[in-house]
C-alpha cells in the first residue's frame, strides 16, 4: 500500500520508490534532500496521526484502501477547536518569518503554503525556495501540534492579517463551531436516511479553506468544493491532507461502489468537482 501519491512527471523524484528501496524516508545527509520529493510530508502527517491522542484518520483511510470497500465502522470523529493551539500558530509564524527575509510577508505566506502543498502532494508545482531556507523550514515545521489540536491554522493566520494589507480577496472564515452545527443539522436532522450517510454528496460552492467540508468529514467521504481564490483552495487541500484524507485524495469509485446498497436504495447524485490547486 503506497502512502504518498506517485510522481506524475518523470523529472520528479518519487518518494514512494525511495521508501520502498531504502525502507526509510529521505534524510538530510542523502544526496537529494527530502523536500525535493513531491509528497514527502505525507509520511510525517501519517506518523503524527498515529499518536495516541490523534484522530487516527490516516490509519482509517489506509485500512479502507486495503479492504477495498468502506469499513464496517463509523468515520473517526474529529473535533476542531474554536481557537488555534498557541504552539501550532507560533510555529507557522516562525515558518513564514523564515521566508520573509527577502519577500513581503504576503508573498512569504504564499510560498509557505506552496511549500506545504508540494510536500503534501496536493500541488504539482515545486516552489522556488533556496536550499538553505528549505532546510530551515524542514527543521522548524512540526505536524504534531496541528494534528493533536485540530484547527484551520492557515485560514486563521490568513484572516488575522487582513488589517495589515493581506487578504486581498477579503477571505474571512466561518467559525468551526458554526460549521460543526450546520453539519450536524444536515446529517443528524430529519428522518434517518435509508442509504449510507458516508456516501452522501457534500458540495461547497465557496469552499474557502475548507472548514465546512472538514466538519462534514465526520459524516461523509464524498466531499467536493470550488473557489475563485487559488490560495484558499491550496489551503483547503492542505487541511484535507492534515485532517480528512478523503477530501484531498478521494476514494476510487470502485471502493465506493463496493459499499453501495442495492440499486434503488441509494440516491443518485452528480459527483461534482474536487478542488485542485494549480
Has residue 154 been placed in a domain?
yes
Q: For residue 90, give its domain range.
A: 13-257
Residue 7 lies in a domain: no
| 8-16: average pLDDT | 63
Q: Which of 62-76, 143-157, 158-172, 191-205 has the lowest mean pLDDT?
A: 158-172
Task: Answer whether residue 65 is part of any domain.
Answer: yes
Rg (CA), the chain: 19
Greater confidence (206 vs 263) lies with 206
**Structural domain count of the chain:** 1
Q: Is residue 266 part of a domain?
A: no
Contact (Cβ atoms closer than 8 angstroms) between residue 182 and residue 212: yes
What average pLDDT does range 128-157 have in this prediction? 94
Residue 265 belongs to a domain:
no
pLDDT band at 103 (very low <50, low <70, confident <90, very high): confident
Residue 276 lies inside a defined structural domain of this protein = no
- The rounded distance, in Å, linking the Cα atoms of 81 and 85 is 8
**Residue ranges of the alpha helices (H) in the chain?**
15-22, 40-49, 57-67, 86-98, 105-119, 131-140, 144-148, 153-160, 176-188, 211-216, 230-243, 245-248, 253-257
Q: Does residue 81 belong to any structural domain of this protein?
A: yes
pLDDT in tens, 176-200: 999 999 999 999 876 666 778 899 9
Q: Is residue 273 part of a domain?
A: no
- Which of the two residues, 191 and 201, has the higher pLDDT score? 201
- Three-class DSSP category at 38: strand
Q: 43-90: per-residue pLDDT in tens? A: 899 999 999 999 999 999 999 999 999 999 999 999 999 999 999 999
pTM exceeds cut of 0.85 = yes
Task: Tell me if 211 sits within 8 A of 152, measured CB to CB.
Answer: yes
* Spacing of C-alpha 46 from chain mean position: 12
Amino acid at each position: 500500500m503506497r502512502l504518498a501519491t506517485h510522481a506524475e512527471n518523470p523529472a520528479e523524484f518519487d518518494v514512494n520508490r525511495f521508501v520502498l528501496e531504502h525502507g526509510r524516508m529521505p534524510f538530510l545527509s542523502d544526496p537529494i534532500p527530502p523536500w525535493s520529493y513531491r509528497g514527502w510530508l505525507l509520511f510525517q502527517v501519517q506518523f503524527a496521526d498515529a499518536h495516541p491522542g490523534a484522530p487516527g484518520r490516516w490509519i482509517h483511510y489506509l485500512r479502507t484502501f486495503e479492504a477495498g470497500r468502506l469499513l464496517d465502522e463509523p468515520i473517526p470523529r474529529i473535533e476542531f477547536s474554536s481557537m488555534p493551539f498557541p504552539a501550532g500558530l507560533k510555529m507557522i509564524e516562525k515558518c513564514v518569518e523564515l521566508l520573509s527575509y527577502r519577500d513581503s510577508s504576503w508573498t512569504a505566506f504564499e510560498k509557505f503554503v506552496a511549500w506545504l502543498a508540494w510536500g503534501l502532494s496536493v500541488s504539482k508545482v515545486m516552489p522556488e525556495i533556496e536550499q538553505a531556507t528549505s532546510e530551515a523550514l524542514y527543521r522548524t515545521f512540526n505536524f504534531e501540534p496541528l494534528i493533536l489540536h485540530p484547527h484551520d491554522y492557515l485560514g486563521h493566520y490568513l484572516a488575522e492579517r487582513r488589517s495589515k494589507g493581506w487578504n486581498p480577496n477579503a477571505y474571512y472564515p466561518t467559525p468551526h463551531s458554526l460549521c460543526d452545527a450546520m453539519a450536524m443539522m444536515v446529517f443528524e436532522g430529519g428522518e434517518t436516511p435509508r442509504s449510507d450517510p458516508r456516501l452522501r454528496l457534500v458540495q461547497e460552492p465557496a469552499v474557502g479553506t475548507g472548514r465546512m467540508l472538514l466538519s462534514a468529514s465526520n459524516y461523509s467521504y464524498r466531499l467536493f468544493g470550488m473557489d475563485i481564490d487559488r490560495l484558499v483552495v491550496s489551503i483547503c487541500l492542505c487541511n484535507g491532507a492534515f485532517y480528512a484524507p478523503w477530501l484531498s485524495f478521494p476514494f476510487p469509485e470502485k471502493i465506493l461502489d463496493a459499499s453501495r446498497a442495492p440499486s434503488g436504495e441509494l440516491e443518485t447524485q452528480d459527483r461534482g468537482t474536487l478542488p485542485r490547486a494549480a
